[in-house]
Amino acid sequence: MEEKVLLQQLDTLRKKTQKKKDMIRSLELLELEQVISRPSNYHIETIEIEEEQESSVFEDQVDYYLRNLETLETESEEDFIHLLPSPITPNFINLILRLKLETMKKIRAIHSLTEEVNDFAPEELEYIKQQIELNRKILSLIDTYLKTPELITEAPQNKLILVPTKTGKIVPLDHLKDIPIDFYPSIASLLESIKNNTFKNVRHFYTGSISEVRDLNNKTRVLFDRLGPDTYAIIGILVKKTKQNSAYRERTAALVRNYQMNYPTIQEAMATPSFEEKRVQQEESLWQVLNRKQAKGGEVHAKTKRRSND
């Protein structure tokens, strides 16, 4: 009974926030399309939008995990668990219940469609059958996961791949040179949330699979993409100081373009025997920079302070 009430409450919350969320996302996508399609000096009027409310952040989290589930191609329980929030994720129970609710709705929608339309082609009927079976499997696994979240006995340790530029620069490491060291603890917590599968204030940011984790207080962001069950590309590290500013949009769009250009090369490299050793070295370098004591980073901070105030 308690679970049913929670599901109803979550559904009510979803309906209340969806309209505002759709408006915000459409405005953001409009700006991003303009940035990507125009020269870098093209001026875009800023659009003032209220700071994200807690309900909106939750909806962004739900959207991220739903998109993950939509990419599920196998019925492997291990693959499925990688796509769900970790039990140590804030709002874990609410997130899982909401994912259950949306999966139930999807099954009902498919059944409703088949009742309304009766002239499907054989291949369409086969696809519908596969979708129903897959979503029933997801529903069953969610129920199991709800009852026994200890199925994950150890905290995941995802692998981070640092995206390079065409000239060989490692983008995240390069970004840290221009970010005051005061922001490093915040950035480290965001990267750690990708490592341990909790994805702090995650939001799906672009069409496709690119997303970001956010520290809403410090305005730090880490742009990332999922490359495999436990492997994530770190596309860029940003500090967003003003609401919806065009410079931030342009820089983010440029990072996405760089990643898209390098994506085939990254995929090829991942298949080589020497890749993992190089990946580990680069990730260790990232943590070494982030873990430097502030006393040792005074010179770096002095060099970057002026830029941070621009």
What range does the domain containing 26 cover? 2-151
pLDDT computed for residue 131 by the predictor: 86
Q: How many domains does the chain have?
A: 2
Within this chain, do residues 245 and 290 fall inside the same structural domain, yes or no?
yes
Same-domain pairing of 113 and 184: no
The last residue of one of the domains, among 98, 117, 151, is: 151
Tokens, residue 301: 């901070």
Q: What is 139-196 written as a DSSP string?
A: HHHHHHHHH-GGGS-S----EEEEPB-TTS-BHHHHHHHTS-GGGHHHHHHHHHHHHT
Q: Is the pLDDT of residue 68 over 60?
A: yes
Residues 236 and 297 in one domain: yes
Residues 130 and 179 in one domain: no
pLDDT of residue 280: 96
183 and 270 co-located in one domain: yes
| % of the chain residues with pLDDT over 90 | 39
Query: Looking at the structure, do residues 304 and 170 belong to the same domain, yes or no?
Result: yes
Q: Are residues 95 and 167 in the same domain?
A: no
Q: If we measure between CA atoms, which residue out of 290, 63, 296 comes closest to residue 160?
A: 290
Give residue 193's pLDDT band: very low, low, confident or very high (50, 70, 90): very high
Summarised one tens digit per residue, pLDDT across range 35-55 is 333 333 323 333 333 345 566
pLDDT digits (tens, 9 = 90+) for 274-296: 999 999 999 999 999 999 744 44
**Final residue belonging to a domain, choices 151, 183, 204:** 151
- Whether the per-residue pLDDT at 161 is higher than 50: the answer is yes
pLDDT digits (tens, 9 = 90+) for 244-276: 567 778 888 899 999 999 999 999 999 999 999
Report the distance separating Cα 91 and Cα 235, nearest Å.
26
Is pLDDT of 28 > 60? no
Please indicate, yes or no, whether residues 145 and 163 belong to a single structural domain of this protein. no
Confidence category of residue 143, pLDDT binned at 50, 70, 90: confident
80 and 18 inside one domain = yes
Residue 108 pLDDT exceeds 60: yes
What span, in angstroms and rounded, lies between the C-alpha atoms of 93 and 89? 9
C-alpha torsion sign, points 121, 124, 130, 132: negative
Cα-trace Rg, the chain: 21
Q: What is the pLDDT of residue 4?
A: 60
Q: Worst-scoring range by mean pLDDT, 17-26, 48-57, 101-110, 295-304?
A: 295-304
| Whether 120 and 170 share a structural domain | no
Tokens 């995941």 label which residue?
156
Residues 138, 7, single domain; the answer is yes
The domain boundary residue, chosen from 120, 151, 182: 151
| 17 plus 120 within the same structural domain | yes
Mean pLDDT of 69-89: 78
| Res 220 pLDDT > 70 | yes
Rounded CA-CA distance 26/31 in Å is 9
Distance between CA atoms of 18 and 11, rounded to whole angstroms? 10
The length of the chain in residues reads 310
